[in-house]
């Protein structure tokens, strides 16, 4: 019998499956099969983004499972994100339509502003200053971008809109101008980075937290020898042993029990299945307390090249 996936309920009454397949950093040529495997295993939520440069592979996987009758389009929840080079309001619709074309879809279930920072408009996704360290910024303001996002809902191109990597002050700026309220803020969240104040703020405003890098992204491209690996934490391992589970399953379950949507990434079928097998056990109060104690305020995705941007979410932040 197929696993019943719990849903989180957005502030507009619509719902999102609480676990999804992440696709950031998935190797080219492996994403289509990963998506097909995930859907066969029971996933009904796929998270992608223009900047990942694999949306066409996601689209091929989803199309294949619709064509073979495994799912209907309305059974699948697809999220994508507006990249930083498309923040000018007049560029938003074109960027969304390009994503829809790549995904072979007529609408998105959720579209997010990927970061509050805007980069120089053009074909280069990462326009770089001569120093090779800092991106060339755009002066586009995300509150103007938000108004263009709202029009996508009006036009039926997307069902829900939200934010990603926004801090509390930035969310409030959006709420102050919003005709359509953001339904989620997708943020880095794991046992070494809880972002408790930001999560509490989102809850207060009726905005669901979506947790990316819930395993602290051990395969991130910029990992260095000597970096602490969350999955190898002895306290985490003790909880995994207690429940006869692996550490990744504990971390994914931890997000779900906090009420967060969670999007672990893998292209390995066995790991995709294991990450999904988190609904037949529950962490107890002692487990939750121990996981909370692992806080290191250690950010995996600081967006180094954007420091100095007036809208950088983590510079001089009070998260």
Task: Assess contact for 302 and 314: CB atoms under 8 A.
Answer: yes
Report d(CA 112, CA 220) in Å as an integer. 22
* Cβ within 8 Å of residue 120, ≥6 positions away: 85, 127, 135, 136, 137, 138
How many residues are recorded in the chain? 319
Q: Which pairing describes strands 7-9 and 15-17: parallel, antiparallel, or unpaired?
A: antiparallel
Instruction: Give the Cα separation of 68 and 257 in Å (integer).
Output: 34
Contact 211, 187 (CB under 8 A): yes
- Collect all residues with Cβ–Cβ distance below 8 Å to 29 and sequence separation of at least 6: 57
Can you tell me whether residue 286 is helix, strand or coil?
helix
50 is in an annotated binding site: no
17 and 76 Cβ atoms separated by less than 8 Å: no
* List of residues 6+ apart from 21 with CB closer than 8 A: 34, 35, 38, 43, 45, 46, 47, 263, 264, 265, 266, 272
Residue 111: active-site member: no
CA 96 to chain centre: 17
**Catalytic site residue from 52, 119, 142, 212:** 52
Give ∠ CA 155-159-164 in degrees, rounded to 5. Answer: 110
**In Å, how far are 35, 59, 221, 240, 294 from 66, measured between CA atoms?**
12, 11, 33, 36, 42
Going by the annotation, the residues of the binding site for substrate are 114
Residues involved in catalysis: 52
């Amino acid at each position: 019998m197929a696993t019943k996936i719990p849903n989180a309920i957005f502030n507009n009454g619509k719902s999102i499956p609480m676990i999804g397949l992440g696709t950031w950093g998935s190797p080219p040529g492996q994403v289509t099969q990963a998506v097909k495997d995930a859907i066969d295993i029971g996933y009904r939520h796929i998270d992608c983004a223009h900047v990942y440069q694999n949306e066409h592979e996601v689209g091929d996987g989803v199309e294949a499972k619709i064509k073979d009758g495994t799912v209907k389009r309305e059974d699948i929840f697809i999220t994508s994100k507006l990249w930083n080079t498309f923040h000018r309001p007049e560029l938003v619709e074109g960027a969304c339509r390009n994503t829809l074309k790549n995904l072979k879809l007529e609408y998105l279930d959720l579209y997010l502003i990927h970061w509050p920072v805007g980069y120089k408009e053009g074909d280069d996704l990462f326009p770089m200053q001569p120093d090779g360290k800092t991106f060339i910024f755009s002066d586009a303001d995300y509150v103007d971008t938000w108004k263009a996002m709202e029009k996508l809902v009006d036009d039926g191109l997307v069902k829900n809109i939200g934010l990603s990597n926004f801090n509390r002050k930035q969310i409030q700026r959006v709420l102050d101008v919003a005709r359509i309220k953001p339904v989620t803020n997708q943020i880095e969240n794991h046992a070494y980075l809880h972002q408790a104040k930001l999560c509490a703020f989102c809850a207060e405003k009726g905005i669901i937290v979506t947790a990316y890098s819930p395993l602290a992204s051990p395969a991130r491209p910029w990992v260095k020898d000597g970096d602490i690996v969350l999955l190898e934490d002895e306290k985490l391992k003790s909880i995994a042993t207690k429940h006869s589970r692996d550490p990744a399953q504990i971390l994914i379950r931890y997000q779900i029990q906090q009420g967060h949507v969670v999007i672990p990434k893998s292209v390995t079928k066995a790991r995709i299945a294991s990450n999904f097998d988190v609904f037949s056990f529950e962490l107890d109060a002692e487990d939750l307390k121990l996981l909370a104690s692992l806080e290191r305020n250690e950010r995996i995705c600081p967006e180094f090249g954007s420091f100095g941007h007036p809208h950088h979410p983590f510079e001089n932040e009070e998260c």
